[in-house]
Structure 1
């Protein structure tokens, strides 16, 4: 009978559209400087794509991260969390989301919650974030003599929350001491404790413990009888102790300096990352629809659906028009002489390629030519040695954080820039600057590697990426190039084989 009632109650909840929000454990632990992940989900499984998902601090209005209407709302965040959170939505259709909070600080400790809101129902879950930091190993130093006793100092830095400090004697019993605890600008605690040692004391230990997180570090010291006997070495020993203390102070100062420097570098890196993402989103507001011109493709390059380039081991029969490239290249039917234009190209795992723009009147019959602005090319590419590069006009080696397989290209004709974005991590790879003059065409160059290692290169619709973008520009194709005369431009004497 109880089983039947349970099934009926569960069915009633499912039909009525009610569900339960389950969050992390009541206590989530994280270390200073590391990342924390909070996972929340709906039970039973219910899609949350159309819901409002909110992570908050202490109260509902204190927004840590907000998702609604199918997108993240960063403008609603509290300032302290901006640029530090990312909502992982891979399983949002199952009602599961996770929030990654980067670079945990002591001030992040406290009560958090997550909520799911539909048009008819609302539920939330709460938990406590406990932050800790394990300080440095205690440094024990000799301060000098006080009334026939030796004064010892034990110090450590970088603790959170406030730790307890203890001196212990040879039998492990606690010794009374004078301790000081100070909080630095980062909210971490520095501790220092002093102890007077009598002649009968030999083995000592200084331990510092974070009781809440069960973290403990300890240093031991052994004091010989010679410390308590008058000796001509007494003054040098004291001097040596003072020198050691000064050296320790210098080391601690350097550690604090490098810690602050590292934090500054990380903040600068986060700012650059956010700036690159903003530039990419602005660029995607100017999408353009491109098609490839088969009449310009080299005989080994097969053009299908006017968007896909495939390398053929056996060249196909083509008409040798003057506008056809002889160096494994092809250009788009569209050309640009003004405005802003953005397009994306999927290069996959190909071993060698170049993407960008070139002047419409470049010399196309030359097999070896340097793809530099001097010769009318503005490109980014990868050679067969797996090295990424650009030319401006000399070769510039580039080192993307993640190898790009999907590249975004943004041309600002009047602004005189062409930028290349790594769609894999939404980062800016490189920007070339030039005062453009003349018609520019999107350009693709293919550098095949070993047989069987090459795949197709595809011009992707911008709408296949993430996010809502601007209206797609339909750029008319240029007039029939057969009616134009060949260019009289002469290539540079300094050439670079394209198939490296």
Structure 2
């Protein structure tokens, strides 16, 4: 049989169509949302139909609630960690041994509140691609409410209720003994950097026949609630005139005793000597109360991490000094470098108790403190505890503690050297004026779940270096 050129052309076209058809596939997954319990590991199913190998394909998992929100990428037979959202690092993986049969499911470990969202599984071959989207809902039942007595308020008794670790955002209500809602102050809602909610709410209660009151925290979407009941003795609701008179007399008596003691003391010594000794004793008392020298004995050796430094920062060779430079340097993009703030971290994280000192003499701008390692270094987050920052800043002549609600203050004298002390177990971060031996500011009630790294930002208003100094407990 004679084969014509037209026959050859047809055969070639049929072959190309067959080859193109063999590359086609669908990406499939669950039709229902995935409900995850905080702290657990979950699987986000995704697979190819037909069950062809994905080993030579590119597998992308994206969080659609983020701009450029890459959760995981597999390409060219290896895992690509560039541009991965920082807090997914170390928590995501594929079943690589299952890729040959088209299984591209994602394992997400230690689920947290910020993991809630819509996830896209995108599979690309050389000539075809398809994707599938699944929603993840996170469920977390918080702590049993803690109720505390605030004291007398507006003719009644003030109570405060707090609970944390919830997701989604919970509702907190106060109830009387009959289950009727009480009129309370507005709820205060805070969200941690892991996406879990903390709620607290004040109420003023009046005396009733039972004096039983209940704080209830509930989350209707996940059908969960926690309650704490408190009983207040009737004696707390009133203070009799006789009791008030007794308290006043006790206060007056104490003042009289103190005044008499000071008068006798003054008679026994010369005036000038007394004043000097009183000042000295008062200073010694302050030192004793603050226990500053004991704090300084928790010194750690801090060295700057050049891999985390912003491009316009200049570090000394020994890693003890950092200043702002005039021009951006060309440095490697290693994924750990700050890109929006002129900042740098210490090279080691700490827990327990630790202390270090930084010379700020002559500078008109600086920010110091500690942060968690998993902070997002590529986005302009506000540097507050909810985002993993505990810092104090000098800028435009004002000192600001970046609490969840910023605190601006003016110290009696500006520090030339700042001491930073962390008590991990007591959940406190404190700042000290080293020369004046006085306290500047403390963050209390912090929530630490990771090691803390020293944080430095020399500002861009001067070229003077921040200097990490050795601690001399005798200076």
The TM-score range, normalised by the shorter chain, is 0.3 to 0.5
Q: TM-score, normalised by structure 1?
A: 0.41
TM-score (norm 2): 0.43
